[in-house]
């Protein structure tokens, strides 16, 4: 069974856009990976006239949509009932997508939500990705208040590891799903694909991203069914525990992909 750690597209895009002197080629390769070439659709602002001929542009056009100079970036990974710092204007779309990237350059603040259309078979899947870009108010205060620091995220991940270990024991994964148990064990020794990460990321950022991706992968495997749950109450308790771990992992991943000027 092929096991790999993955980061959301918005996390990768935020990491690359937040770097200095980002190259368009490496950015496109890292963010798009095996997808079809990504496109960008710019939504009209509140003061712009409504148009019926909205066109799409290549993902690299996002670099031209922000002002020259340093950029500040962040990622939100919302879930129903846990929107975090997601701007209200895109809360529904971002929650459906499970992610969005925030960009600020000069006086321009944007949010981009990836809309993913899957095609092909389970063995040979394909993805068409369109980023819907909307201009929003300054999002930095909300991100700083709700995401927290990288150090806090790393501490929370340690707690998340304890929680997911306890949940797995109560789920008795090894007994009812040996294949999932083997995959979870294999995840301990797998890292993120370094070619998809920009150069210059500090060690703590990489550690947090890797740990958060690992926890989310474990939660996905463990939550595929209720396993050895003997009643609905027990199943609900286990699902709640896994959701709590996923929330910690999403918050940590957002903290690691947030690059604000000090």
d(CA 67, CA 105): 5
pLDDT at 233: 52
Question: CB-based contacts of 230: which residues, under 8 Å, 6+ apart?
Answer: none
Question: Across all residues in the chain, what is the average pLDDT?
Answer: 84
pTM attached to this predicted model: 0.88
Residue 262 pLDDT greater than 80, yes or no: no
**What percentage of the chain has pLDDT greater than the value 90?**
48
Contact 250, 5 (CB under 8 A): no
Q: How confident is the model at residue 148 (pLDDT cuts 50, 70, 90)?
A: confident
Greatest mean pLDDT among 66-75, 99-108, 212-221 lies in: 99-108
The whole-number average pLDDT for the span 237-255 is: 86
Torsional class of 29: left (φ above 0), alpha (ψ -120 to 50), beta (otherwise): alpha
The whole-number average pLDDT for the span 95-101 is: 97
The whole-number average pLDDT for the span 109-132 is: 93
**What percentage of the chain has pLDDT greater than the value 70?**
83
The whole-number average pLDDT for the span 133-156 is: 92
Contact 208, 42 (CB under 8 A): no
């Amino acid at each position: 069974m092929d096991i790999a750690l993955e980061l959301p597209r918005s996390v990768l895009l935020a990491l690359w856009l937040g770097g200095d002197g980002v190259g368009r080629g490496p950015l496109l390769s890292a963010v798009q990976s095996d997808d079809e070439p990504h496109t960008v659709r710019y939504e009209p602002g509140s003061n712009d006239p409504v148009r019926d001929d909205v066109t799409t542009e290549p993902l690299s056009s996002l670099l031209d949509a922000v002002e020259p100079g340093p950029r500040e970036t962040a990622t939100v990974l919302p879930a129903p009932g846990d929107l975090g710092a997601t701007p209200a204007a895109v809360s529904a779309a971002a929650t459906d997508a499970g992610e969005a990237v925030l960009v600020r350059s000069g006086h321009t603040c944007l949010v981009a939500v990836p809309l993913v259309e899957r095609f092909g078979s389970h063995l040979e899947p394909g993805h068409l990705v369109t980023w819907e870009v909307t201009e929003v108010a300054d999002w930095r205060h909300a991100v700083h208040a709700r995401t927290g620091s990288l150090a806090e995220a790393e501490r929370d991940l340690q707690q998340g590891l304890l929680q997911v270990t306890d949940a797995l024991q109560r789920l008795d994964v090894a007994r009812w799903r040996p294949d999932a148990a083997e995959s979870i064990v294999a995840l301990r020794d797998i890292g993120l694909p370094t070619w998809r990460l920009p150069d210059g990321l500090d060690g703590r950022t990489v550690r947090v991203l890797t740990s958060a991706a690992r926890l989310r992968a474990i939660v996905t495997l463990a939550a595929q069914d209720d396993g050895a749950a003997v009643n609905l109450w027990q199943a609900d308790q286990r699902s709640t525990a896994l959701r709590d771990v996923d929330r910690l992992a999403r918050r940590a991943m957002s903290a690691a992909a947030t690059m604000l000027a000090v």
